[in-house]
């Protein structure tokens, strides 16, 4: 059968640039789990090239490997030839979805976004609409946690940030990473109808939303921690944390947005002693929740999260702190699984915004 991978064809030079050196292998969380070359970035480049040339048909094993990529971007960081492997994988996914290769769980997520405007298909999302000075994009993950979102907004107000909140819709990032090209383009149109990008900067709670909103709007999008770090002073901490913690850099916030220092500066202001894991900042390992892997291979996701939790436990820290809601949820599952298997004391996984809220709870800050 003649191949029709026109979109993937545009990235053929990227595939030919790959020298098959294997530098990407020891940083790829999927390869570290699978141990087979097909689970590595260079393996995916080979398979993508096979699709373009027509030498390979998309059988079950090939499709599985293409969709197992977590889009953590560590291969792109590590590649001496600067090959855009994550882009090649996304292009391959788009072409596979066109051929009907998506699974039911992926299609369910896509339908949720298309029909309800949010990732979880929730028809009763509570949007805390309010007037304010700075536009805030909350994102599906945080909107699914109304109590947490209320605390985050209160935290902003305590620090003198007055957010303007409207009834938003999903930014479309999940559709993009799963390969639903047409649906993604329509969702971006819906987003721009619901949320104005006329003013900047725009604040957001979610690392993934930050990266994606910048890409589709061309506007200045700030992660909330960037703004908080500029405003938070030690004297504003009413209840210092004084704990030994280790910090997990989310892929979208670290390699995606280049934000490493702000969370660490905030944690130090909170009185935390930071004990770093082996892989941090630009070399941080994926939590196991990225790239739509949760919709494709939950078992692989769980093993990745357990590997990252073991790395966190090895530091001797009392807890692991992160700044991404997906990382928080995924790492909690990994920590719970380790507890169930070994009978260990539960290892806490905490979102930095929750930690900030508790630390400033009793302080007399501007409302």
Is the CB of residue 357 less than 8 Å from the CB of residue 363? no
In angstroms, the CA 95 to CA 146 distance is 37
Model confidence at 211, pLDDT cuts 50, 70, 90, reads very high
Cβ neighbours of 310 (radius 10 Å): 13
Q: pLDDT, tens digit, for every residue of 93-127? A: 999 999 999 999 999 999 999 999 999 999 999 89
**Does domain 134-229 correspond to CATH entry 3.40.50?**
yes
Ramachandran quadrant class, 276 (left: phi over 0; alpha: psi -120 to 50; beta: rest): beta
Q: Where in the chain is the domain with CATH 3.40.50.11810?
A: 237-359
CATH architecture assigned to 237-359: 3-Layer(aba) Sandwich (3.40)
Q: pLDDT, tens digit, for every residue of 291-339? A: 999 999 999 999 999 999 999 999 999 999 999 999 999 999 999 999 9
| Of residues 259, 262, 266, 265, the one with CA closest to residue 281 | 259
**pLDDT (mean) for 353-364:** 80
CB-side neighbour CA atoms (13 Å) of 203 = 20
Q: Average pLDDT, whole number, for the chain?
A: 94
Is the CB of residue 310 less than 8 Å from the CB of residue 192? no
Q: pLDDT, tens digit, for every residue of 60-93? A: 999 999 999 999 999 999 999 999 999 999 999 9
Query: Which position has the token pair 């309800």?
Result: 116
- Write down the pLDDT at residue 235: 80
- Write down the pLDDT at residue 17: 95
In angstroms, the CA 90 to CA 104 distance is 19
For the chain, give the number of residues: 367
Q: Which CATH code for domain 6-98?
A: 1.10.1060.10
In angstroms, the CA 93 to CA 218 distance is 24
- Write down the pLDDT at residue 118: 95
Task: Say whether the peptide bond before residue 201 is cis (omega within 30 degrees of 0).
Answer: yes
**pLDDT (mean) for 16-21:** 94
Helix (H) or strand (E) holding 87: helix 85-98
Model confidence at 4, pLDDT cuts 50, 70, 90, reads low
Looking at the DSSP bridge assignments, the partners of residue 164 are 135
Residue environment code for 144-155, b if the CB has 16+ CB neighbours within 10 A, otherwise e: bbeebbebbbeb
| Rounded alpha-carbon distances, angstroms, from residue 43 to 22, 47, 90, 229 | 9, 6, 15, 41
Tokens of 347: 């290892």
Q: pLDDT, tens digit, for every residue of 130-149? A: 999 999 999 999 999 999 99
Q: pLDDT, tens digit, for every residue of 216-270? A: 999 999 999 999 999 998 788 889 998 999 999 999 999 999 999 999 999 999 9
Residue spans of beta strands (DSSP E) within 181-307: 202-204, 221-223, 244-248, 273-274
Between vectors from CA 142 to CA 282 and to CA 329, what angle results, nearest 5°?
60
Low-confidence winner among 37-51, 295-309, 350-364 (lowest mean pLDDT): 350-364
> Between the CA atoms of 108, 109, 114 and 119, what dihedral angle is there, to the nearest 10 degrees?
140
Model confidence at 361, pLDDT cuts 50, 70, 90, reads low
- Write down the pLDDT at residue 6: 76
Given a cut of 60, is residue 275 above it in pLDDT?
Answer: yes
- Write down the pLDDT at residue 234: 79
Q: Where in the chain is the domain with CATH 1.10.1060.10?
A: 6-98
């Amino acid at each position: 059968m003649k191949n029709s991978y026109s979109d993937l064809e545009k990235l053929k030079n990227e595939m030919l640039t790959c020298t098959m050196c294997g530098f990407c292998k020891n940083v790829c969380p999927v390869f570290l789990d699978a141990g087979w070359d097909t689970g590595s970035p260079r393996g995916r480049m080979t398979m993508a090239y096979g699709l373009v040339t027509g030498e390979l048909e998309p059988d079950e094993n090939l499709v599985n490997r293409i969709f197992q990529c977590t889009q953590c971007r560590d291969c792109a960081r590590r590649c001496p030839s600067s090959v855009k492997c994550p882009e090649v994988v996304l292009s391959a996914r788009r072409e596979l979805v066109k051929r009907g290769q998506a699974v039911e769980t992926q299609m369910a997520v896509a339908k949720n976004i298309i029909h309800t405007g949010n990732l979880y298909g929730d028809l009763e999302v509570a949007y805390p609409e309010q007037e304010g000075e700075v536009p805030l994009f909350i994102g599906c993950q945080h909107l699914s946690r109304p109590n947490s979102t209320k605390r985050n907004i209160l935290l902003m107000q305590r620090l003198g940030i007055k957010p303007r909140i409207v009834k938003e819709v999903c930014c479309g990032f999940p559709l993009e990473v799963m390969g639903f090209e047409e649906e993604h383009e329509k969702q971006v149109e819906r987003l721009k109808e619901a949320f104005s990008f006329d003013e900047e900067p725009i604040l957001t709670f979610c690392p993934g939303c930050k990266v994606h909103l910048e890409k589709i709007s061309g506007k200045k999008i700030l992660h909330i921690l960037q703004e908080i770090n500029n405003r938070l002073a030690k004297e504003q901490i009413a209840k210092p944390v004084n704990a030994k913690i280790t910090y997990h850099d989310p892929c979208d916030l670290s390699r995606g947005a280049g934000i490493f220092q702000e969370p660490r500066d905030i944690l130090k202001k909170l009185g935390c002693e930071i004990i770093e894991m082996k892989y941090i900042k630009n070399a941080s390992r994926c939590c196991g929740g990225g790239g739509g892997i949760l919709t494709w291979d939950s078992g692989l996701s769980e093993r990745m999260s357990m590997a990252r939790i073991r790395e966190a436990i090895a530091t001797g820290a009392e807890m692991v702190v992160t700044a991404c809601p997906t990382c928080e949820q995924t790492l909690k599952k990994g920590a719970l699984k380790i507890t169930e298997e070994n009978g260990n004391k539960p290892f806490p996984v905490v979102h930095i915004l929750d930690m900030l809220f508790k630390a400033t709870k009793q302080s007399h800050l501007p409302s």
